Amino acid sequence: MASLSMKSVRKSYGAVEVIKGVDLDIADGEFVVVVGPSGCGKSPLLRMVAGLEEITAGTMEIGGRVVNDLEPKDRGIAMVFQSYALYPHKTVYDNMAFGLHIAKAPKAEVDAKVKKAAEILKLEPYLDRLPKQLSGGQRQRVAIGRAIVRNPEVFLFDEPLSNLDAALRVNTRAEIAKLHRDLGATMIYVTHDQVEAMTLADKIVVLEGGYAQQIGTPMELYHTPANLFVAGFIGSPKMNYIEVTVAEVSADGVKVAAPDIGEALLPIDPDKAAVGDRATLGIRPEDMRHGKTDGITVSGRVELVERLGHETLVEITTTNGLDLKGIIDGTTLISLGDTTDLSFAAASCHLFDSAGKALTRREVPEVVRARRGT
Amino acid sequence: MPSRTPETRATSLFMRYAILVLVALIFVFPLVFMLVSSLKPSMQLLSDTSSIRAFLPVGDISLDNYTASFARAPVALFIFNSIFVTSVTVVLNLVICSMAGFSFAFLDWKGKDVMLSIVIATLIVPLETIAIPLLLVVNNLPWIGADGIEWGWLNSYRVQIVPFLSDALTVFLFVQYFRDLPRDLIEAARIDGASWFQIYAKVIMPISGPVIATAAILRFLAMYNQYLWPLMVTQSEQYRPVMVGLQYFFQLNTDWGQVMAYLSMITVPVLAFYLALQRAFITSIASTGIKG
Ligand SMILES: Nc1ncnc2c1ncn2[C@@H]1O[C@H](COP(=O)(O)OP(=O)(O)OP(=O)(O)O)[C@@H](O)[C@H]1O
Ligand SMILES: [Mg+2]
């Protein structure tokens, strides 16, 4: 078992710098998910941990030991690839046993470890099969089994579920979560699926533009995104943005003004705001209500109605051309072309300065402090 | 596409078979002619060539030509020499070239790209161009034999083997094949702790059946058909291969029956090798599961 720490880790391919300095501390036994849009360098980051990719600059420590120049096999890691990377000519048993054979482990030990992994992953009936005789989900389990057999201190996963169909993905996700509970190993998991990130992670790293945009628990990222990028990336449908001007700064918070909402006092730390500043108000679709309630109200023409049963997604356009999405009660009667009101509480609002950095929210739900499983 | 009636389907199937049969015949007829002619006396052989009888075992049929060939030349020795030189060369060549291909495809070293282009550039240099300089080289090479160091490699097996231990085409075939293999496989093996040699021997080569078979067939044919080089470097009969041995049948009076008998005999190893490998080739594709 091991902790892991990266200090200003960088990665360049020739003249192109993909990772521009990432600092990350992972505690022993933590499940860290790295998310980010395609091409943001998630895989290179993971491969630097694995030792498959040279670290251009910075230091990488696993279990307190600098591993920059260590071979993959000496880092105490195991990796599960998106493509599974099973040896096509070896049986399931030999796929899992290969690493131990290479390490010249005694036959009895190899057998015990492989059998144990097969038992955990319910692979016993398939030990004599070749990978091509397995389904996608079974191959995935063999790949995980191969990692378990190595008994690593850190498990690395690179989009392990992206080749599975939706139902299998949900199952395997749960299995990986269970595996983490049972083994208690440190795990780093790369994905671009935010559902995987939210459900699996103790800690999420949002990677974009070569930097870690924010590192925090899933609830921190959702309720207190550090900047516009994270706010837009976490949550679906995307957070709504309204361009506003700071009208008044007081001990009570920040009063903002915009044509569509008039003036509104938001419970936001006023230190970093000055009257006249341009800012962006962020409000999540799920924090919207139908009709006028107390709070901030916006009215517009209904442009889209998607009824999902338990809830309905609506999109309105105001007379000023502002588009807003809202998720409202599934039984609400509403139709295209209607003029309707959406409203939201000031406490649900996020405020970002002109550089896109979040101003501190004062009223944050209790759940932000909850740990996983509580 | 216009919809096809069963009749046009049948016609097109018939056409396809007809063309295949025709092509097969074009390839098979010379072989049949060779085999049939080897059983006929020269006089009949020549007169038969003007009719369909050329392809039929009719008339005065016997194995006399075979007996006569053995009397005329040490056929068994030639075939042995060829098979020995060819198989040793092919095996070593595949090992060396696959290792080179592995290095070009997977390892990182300075000047790799330049090196690979140089290797591939040698593809355009035919053996004939370098035969004379090569002869001078091998004539001055040392060898540690039973009685100390000796100079010059002429009249030996090694002079027929060593210059062909590597070749650009085979390296190229391996590089191409290896580059198409998934890199994840190698990385998984590295994480499993395999050394580069273990990755080569235990991960890559076992799934390289198709390219090994292809390279083996090409190399085998090239080596077995060697003529110019062995002719230059083997003055003594003891080391001569089959193609040089063919000369024995073209002196003073050419007995075509014996030529055909000799050719039939030296064709057998090629066919046997080819058929054996073809089977290995097909099973290797089927069993590695590279295709799916
Ligand atoms: N071996 C390499 N050589 C050169 N450039 C590379 C290499 N590997 C990755 N890159 C570059 O690094 C950038 C990020 O890599 P990559 O696409 O793997 O990121 P990612 O976040 O894993 O994306 P995805 O979600 O699509 O897997 C890309 O612009 C890619 O071109
Ligand atoms: Mg990736």
List of chain A residues whose C-beta atoms are within 8 Å of the C-beta of residue B193? 72-73, 99, 102-103
Are A342 and A193 found together in one domain?
no
> Is the entire prediction scored with pTM above 0.80?
yes
Domain harbouring A183, CATH code: 3.40.50.300
Mean pLDDT of B115-129: 93
Mean pLDDT of B148-174: 92
- Residue A323 domain flag: yes
Say yes or no for a CB contact (<8 Å) between A102 and B187.
Answer: no
Q: Which of A115, A118, A113, A119 is nearest to A99 (CA)?
A: A113
List of chain A residues whose C-beta atoms are within 8 Å of the C-beta of residue B184? 81-85
List of chain A residues whose C-beta atoms are within 8 Å of the C-beta of residue B190? 51-52, 71-73
- Residue A371 domain flag: no
Gap from A152 CA to chain B (nearest CA, Å)? 11
Cα dist from B154 to A288, B127, B129, B166, whole Å: 93, 17, 19, 20
Partner residue facing A89 (CB), from B189, B190, B288: B288
- Residue A259 domain flag: yes
Are A71 and A147 found together in one domain?
yes
Q: Identity (one letter) of the amino acid at A270? A: P
DSSP strand pairing (B142-145 vs A350-352): unpaired
The pLDDT assigned to A37 comes to 92
Are A222 and A83 found together in one domain?
yes
Are A152 and A217 found together in one domain?
yes
CATH number 3.20.20.60 given to B73-251: no
Tell me the Cα Rg of chain B.
24
Domain harbouring A264, CATH code: 2.40.50.140
The pLDDT assigned to A11 comes to 96
Which of A17, A35, A40, A159 gets mutated to test ligand 1 (max ligand atoms within 8 A of its CB)? Answer: A40
- In the predicted model, is pLDDT for residue B34 greater than 90? yes
Ligand 1 binding pocket (C-beta < 6 A) is: A 13, 18, 36, 38-44, 192
Region of A356 on the Ramachandran plot (φ > 0 left; ψ -120 to 50 alpha; else beta): left
- CB atoms under 10 Å from CB of B79, counted, come to 18
Are A206 and A277 found together in one domain?
no
Most B CBs within 10 Å, among A71, A75, A89, to test the B interface: A89
- Residue A205 domain flag: yes
Predicted ipTM beyond 0.85: no
DSSP strand pairing (A77-80 vs A154-158): parallel
Spell out, as residue ranges, where chain A has pLDDT lower than 50.
Answer: 374
B284 pLDDT band, cuts 50/70/90, is low
Are A351 and A290 found together in one domain?
yes
- Among the bound ligands, name the one nearest to the CA of residue A41: 1
- In the predicted model, is pLDDT for residue B125 greater than 50? yes
- In the predicted model, is pLDDT for residue B44 greater than 70? yes
List of chain B residues whose C-beta atoms are within 8 Å of the C-beta of residue A73? 190-193
DSSP strand pairing (B148-151 vs A253-258): unpaired
Gap from B288 CA to chain A (nearest CA, Å)? 5
Nearest CA to ligand 1 atom 29: A39
Are A25 and A137 found together in one domain?
yes
**Bridge partners, residue A299, by sequence:** A341
Are A188 and A253 found together in one domain?
no
The pLDDT assigned to A370 comes to 72
Most B CBs within 10 Å, among A53, A67, A84, A102, to test the B interface: A102
Ligand 2 center–CA A159 separation, angstroms = 7
Say yes or no for a CB contact (<8 Å) between A52 and B185.
Answer: no
Q: Which of A11, A185, A147, A149 is nearest to B188 (CA)?
A: A147
B290 pLDDT band, cuts 50/70/90, is very low
Say yes or no for a CB contact (<8 Å) between A102 and B194.
Answer: yes
Q: Is the peptide bond prior to A225 cis by the omega test (within 30 degrees of 0)? A: no
List of chain A residues whose C-beta atoms are within 8 Å of the C-beta of residue B201? none
pLDDT over 70, % of chain B: 94
Chain A contacts to B (CB-CB under 8 A): 47, 50-52, 71-73, 77-79, 81-89, 98-99, 102-103, 130-132, 146, 150
Q: Which of B85, B25, B77, B84 is nearest to B265 (CA)?
A: B77
List of chain B residues whose C-beta atoms are within 8 Å of the C-beta of residue A98? 189, 192, 194, 202
Q: Report residue B32 CA to chain centroid gap.
A: 21
List of chain A residues whose C-beta atoms are within 8 Å of the C-beta of residue B194? 98, 102
Nearest CA to ligand 1 atom 31: A39
Are A242 and A226 found together in one domain?
no
Edge-first strand listing for the sheet containing A262-266 = A262-266, A253-258, A240-250, A278-283, A350-352
Burial A218-236 (b: 16+ CB within 10 A, else e): bbbbbbbbbbbbbbebbbe
The pLDDT assigned to B99 comes to 97
Are A179 and A315 found together in one domain?
no
- In the predicted model, is pLDDT for residue B120 greater than 70? yes
HEC string of chain B equals CCCCCHHHHHHHHHHHHHHHHHHHHHHHHHHHHHHHHCCCCHHHHHHHCCCHHHHCCCCCCCCHHHHHHHHHCCHHHHHHHHHHHHHHHHHHHHHHHHHHHHHHHHCCCCCHHHHHHHHHHHHHCCHHHHHHHHHHHHHCCEEEECCEEEECCCCCCHHHHHHHCCCHHHHHHHHHHHHHCCHHHHHHHHHCCCCHHHHHHHHHHHHCHHHHHHHHHHHHHHHHCCCHHHHHHCCCHHHCCHHHHHHHHCCCCCCHHHHHHHHHHHHHHHHHHHHHHHHHHHHHHHHHCCCC
Say yes or no for a CB contact (<8 Å) between B192 and A102.
Answer: yes
How many Å apart are CA B40 and CA A177, to the nearest integer? 81
- What are B245-261's pLDDT values in tens digits? 999 898 878 889 999 99
The pLDDT assigned to B56 comes to 87
Which atom of ligand 1 has the smallest separation from the CA of A190? Answer: 22
Chain A residue at shortest CA distance from B285: A89
Ligand 2 center–CA A46 separation, angstroms = 9
Gap from B36 CA to chain A (nearest CA, Å)? 45
Gap from A120 CA to chain B (nearest CA, Å)? 20
Ligand 2 center–CA A195 separation, angstroms = 17
How many Å apart are CA B10 and CA B7, to the nearest integer? 5
Residue B29: both structure tokens together? 């007829």
Domain boundary among A231, A259, A280: A231
Tell me the Cα Rg of chain A.
24
Using an 8 Å Cβ cutoff, are A365 and A223 in contact? yes
Are A217 and A269 found together in one domain?
no
Domain boundary among A203, A231, A259: A231
Task: Kindly give, in sequence order, each residue whose CB lies less than 8 Å from that of residue A14, ignoring residues fewer than 6 positions away.
Answer: none
Q: Which of A356, A37, A21 is nearest to A206 (CA)?
A: A37
The pLDDT assigned to B219 comes to 94
Say yes or no for a CB contact (<8 Å) between B192 and A85.
Answer: no
Instruction: Tell me which residue range forms the domain holding A280.
Output: 237-363
Using an 8 Å Cβ cutoff, are A257 and A269 in contact? no
Query: Which residue would you say has higher pLDDT here, B97 or B248?
Result: B97
Chain A residue at shortest CA distance from B290: A88
Chain B residue at shortest CA distance from A78: B191
Say yes or no for a CB contact (<8 Å) between B187 and A77.
Answer: no
Chain A residue at shortest CA distance from B288: A89
**How many structural domains are present in chain A?**
2
List of chain A residues whose C-beta atoms are within 8 Å of the C-beta of residue B287? 89, 130
Residue B145: both structure tokens together? 């034999």
Domain boundary among A212, A231, A250: A231
Are A89 and A120 found together in one domain?
yes
Gap from B191 CA to chain A (nearest CA, Å)? 5
Chain B residue at shortest CA distance from A80: B188
Domain ranges of chain B: 73-251
- What are A102-116's pLDDT values in tens digits? 999 999 999 999 999
The pLDDT assigned to B288 comes to 47
Say yes or no for a CB contact (<8 Å) between B191 and A103.
Answer: no
Burial A331-352 (b: 16+ CB within 10 A, else e): eeeeeeeeebebbbbbbbbbbb
- CB atoms under 10 Å from CB of B200, counted, come to 21
Nearest CA to ligand 1 atom 8: A44
Gap from B278 CA to chain A (nearest CA, Å)? 20
HEC string of chain A equals CCCEEEEEEEEEECCEEEEEEEEEEECCCCEEEEECCCCCCHHHHHHHHHCCCCCCEEEEEECCEECCCCCHHHCCEEEECCCCCCCCCCCHHHHHHHHHHHCCCCHHHHHHHHHHHHHHCCCHHHCCCCHHHCCHHHHHHHHHHHHHHCCCCEEEEECCCCCCCHHHHHHHHHHHHHHHHHHCCEEEEEECCHHHHHHHCCEEEEEECCEEEEEECHHHHHHCCCEHHHHHHCCCCCCEEEEEEEEEEECCEEEEEECCCEEEEECECCCCCCCCCEEEEEECHHHCEECCCCCEEEEEEEEEEEECCCEEEEEEECCCCCEEEEEEECCCCCCCCCEEEEEECHHHCEEECCCCEECCECCCCHHHHCCCCC
B145 pLDDT band, cuts 50/70/90, is confident
- What are B187-239's pLDDT values in tens digits? 999 999 999 999 999 999 999 988 998 899 899 999 999 999 999 999 889 99
The pLDDT assigned to B86 comes to 96
